[in-house]
Structure 1
Amino acid sequence: MHVVVTGAGGFVGAALVRRLLEEGIPGAAPLTRLSLIDRHFAAPPACAAAAVAQEVARAARPLVRLLTGDFGAAGVLDEVFSPPVDVLFHLASVPGGQAEREFALGYDVNLLAPLKLFERAAAQANVPRVVYASSIAVYGSVLPDPIDDGTPARPGMSYGAHKLVGEIVLADLSRRKLVDGVSLRLPGIVARPGLSAGHGSAFMSAIMRAVETGSDYVCPVSPEAGCWWMSLQSCVDNLLHAAGPLDTSALAAERAVTLPVLQHTIGEIKAALARRFGSDAVARISHAADATIEATFGRMPRLDDSNARRFGFAHDGTIDRLIERACMT
């Protein structure tokens, strides 16, 4: 089975690659080729380069190949789809904040290139499973309460608009039985390393990293800010579930699922961090609320995730488990 991961050098992509090398896709045939695509493979964060090198060294045949370049470029696409692809994880994107500042870059990477990728997938003789990392940004910044998979998408930023277009095209290609697609609407994933430039929700990871390292941090939202939380491990679990056991024939025509999340305030997260790291580390966190960031990322409504749970998707379970997982990444 030939599996492709775009954005394989990124935060989520690296973790997905490690799991694919360790376990494969649940319920699916063993991997025969794993093609990893990114504009660069550099550490940190690691792109699983060490695991890739070990796998290549011990494999009887070349299982893993690294493709460096633009995943929408014709030459790269020719390599990607030779041999034909069975499962495609499309994770690569320019994050929302950066895409808003650099419109041309976001338009190219988040809209035009994915359409070329999906078009090439649809041109194969076999029908590939396509798992698309979409975003809750499709809902916009002024959100109704509650949200479910039937809530109308009204993106308020270019990033969300481009993700929504990708969902629509993937759903149409699936309707035509040219691909077997599923779009997963992801929240902010924690805990990203460093400052996570370009991610408006970077504070969600930064507060955890600061407490973990005993550093001072000024959080741009108030303790009362409510967010949707998912660990990297949970994210990868859900991506693999979408590629393997999921029966996509039962999905709605939109083929889009808003994943289950934990819903907690920053204050509740700080309390959980204090239980793990001590109150002194948490005391180094102060707040200077930015009205725009709080309105966009800190006023998340209730989420009705019953549809996603019906299809076997899951969140981290408890806030303490979320913290444990997030602080291990």
Structure 2
Amino acid sequence: MHVLITGAAGFIGQALAHQLLRQPMVEGRPLTRLGLLDRTPAAVAVPSAATAPTLQHWPCDLADPKAQAALAHRLAEDPVDLVFHLASVPGGSAEQQVVLARQVNIDATAVLLEAAQAQVQAGGPVPVFVFASSIAVYGTLVAPVDDATPLRPVMSYGMHKVVGELLVADFSRRGAVCGRSLRLPGVLARPPAPTGQLSAFLSDLPRALAAGRPFVCPTSPQARTWASSLPCVVAQLLHAAGTPAAAWPAGRALMPPTLHFSLGEMVDAVAEVHQVPATALVRWAPDERIEALFGRFPPLQASAARDAGLVDDGDLPTLLRRALATG
């Protein structure tokens, strides 16, 4: 099994690579080669076990058309069985860097899918293509979400992810890939870094409070959101890769189960898990835009994803234990 991860130096990419190296079996087949594609090398070490897969670092700037062409040529010569396409220019950054975001979020996705198509046309395997979509595809939500909820993105990033889902579905329909798009929610706890993500406070809040530091939250305590721990999301990505095509709808996209909670409930859970006076440490300073984007999430019914075997963290204390252990 030859696996490729794009965005391998990112938060989710590194965790996914570590998990694959710890348990190098995918779809019941041994992982022999793991390609890590990013602009900078991913901080992933190969285990010393004799059965450990070969680790290949693929330096590639997906915003560069020449690099995109070189990547397509490489895939034509070295076919892959499974692609986890995680690379993206996220939320706030996509709004500020419009051309860069389009090049990475749309153009590079099309290049990867076309490379997979060329691989199949040359007699190679049809790769499983797991695309990291986002809940940004839904836009502003005012009603409970289920499998029939329409996609109405309000930011460029969400629109890019809708286009990516459509591309994955179209190339799957034509037999170039066996696609699965997962609409990932907030993932906790992202490391403190200038990623441009407007939702970064969802990771910063529990981390600061667990360490006993004060925090100014840009929402009200009643603001409600969706989130999953990093280990939960990695498990969902791996499960998606191994599910049969019949488990996926025609659009090849699912909203995975995630927890729905208020920021006030998160503060209470941090206090319970870490035994800190979390309520006294937080100051609520609602920002209307932030609250509208990340604090008005309705209940979620992810029936199709649950039928496909995807599960969430179970409860908020478990999510926080997992999230802060990895964040």
Residues 268 and 62 from structure 1, CA distance in 2 versus in 1: closer, same or farther, beyond 3 angstroms? closer
Percent identity of paired positions between Structure 1 and Structure 2:
47
- TM-score normalised by L of structure 1: 0.92
**How far does the alpha carbon of each residue in 1:221-270 deviate from its partner, in whole angstroms, 9 at most, with x for none?**
111000001000000000000111x1122321100000101100001111
Structure 2 Cα separation of the partners of residues 168 and 306 of structure 1: 21
Question: Is 75-84 or 318-327 further displaced after alignment?
Answer: 75-84
Give the 3-state SS of the residue equivalent to 1:34 in structure 2. strand
**How far does the alpha carbon of each residue in 1:195-238 deviate from its partner, in whole angstroms, 9 at most, with x for none?**
45311211110101101222221111111000001000000000
Does the alignment pair 1:140 with 2:139? Answer: yes
2:2 aligns with: 2
Q: Per-residue deviation at 1:61?
A: 8.8
Give RMSD over aligned pairs: 1.7
Q: Is the 8 A contact 1:195 1:206 kept in 2?
A: no
Q: Per-residue deviation at 1:83?
A: 2.0
Does the alignment pair 1:292 with 2:292? Answer: no
- Poorly superposed stretches of 4+, deviation over 4 Å: 58-62
1:327 aligns with: 324
- TM-score normalised by L of structure 2: 0.93
Structure 2 Cα separation of the partners of residues 98 and 289 of structure 1: 22
Q: 1:109 aligns with which of 95, 99, 104?
A: 104
Q: Is the 8 A contact 1:184 1:259 kept in 2?
A: yes
Aligned residue pair count: 318
Superposed, 1:224-235 pairs within 5 Å as: 224-235=222-233
Does the alignment pair 1:278 with 2:269? Answer: no
**How far does the alpha carbon of each residue in 1:71-91 deviate from its partner, in whole angstroms, 9 at most, with x for none?**
462123333454211000000
Q: Is the 8 A contact 2:185 2:227 kept in 1?
A: yes
**How far does the alpha carbon of each residue in 1:97-134 deviate from its partner, in whole angstroms, 9 at most, with x for none?**
10011111111111111111111112212210000000
Give the 3-state SS of the residue equivalent to 1:327 in structure 2. helix
Structure 2 Cα separation of the partners of residues 115 and 277 of structure 1: 45
> Which letter does structure 1 place at the counterpart of 2:135?
I
Residues 18 and 82 from structure 1, CA distance in 2 versus in 1: closer, same or farther, beyond 3 angstroms? farther
Superposed, 1:16-165 pairs within 5 Å as: 16-41=16-41, 47-49=42-44, 51-52=45-46, 54=47, 63-71=54-62, 73-125=68-120, 126-141=125-140, 143-165=141-163
2:189 aligns with: 191
Q: Is the 8 A contact 2:131 2:182 kept in 1?
A: yes
Q: Per-residue deviation at 1:62?
A: 7.0
Structure 2 Cα separation of the partners of residues 296 and 219 of structure 1: 14
> Which letter does structure 2 place at the counterpart of 1:284?
L
Q: Is the 8 A contact 2:208 2:214 kept in 1?
A: yes
Does the alignment pair 1:14 with 2:5? Answer: no
Structure 2 Cα separation of the partners of residues 107 and 146 of structure 1: 30
Q: Is the 8 A contact 1:35 1:80 kept in 2?
A: no
Q: Per-residue deviation at 1:178?
A: 1.5
Residues 195 and 206 from structure 1, CA distance in 2 versus in 1: closer, same or farther, beyond 3 angstroms? farther
1:208 aligns with: 206
Structure 1 Cα separation of the partners of residues 295 and 39 of structure 2: 32
Q: Is the 8 A contact 1:193 1:209 kept in 2?
A: no
> Which letter does structure 1 place at the counterpart of 2:228?
M
Structure 1 Cα separation of the partners of residues 202 and 51 of structure 2: 43
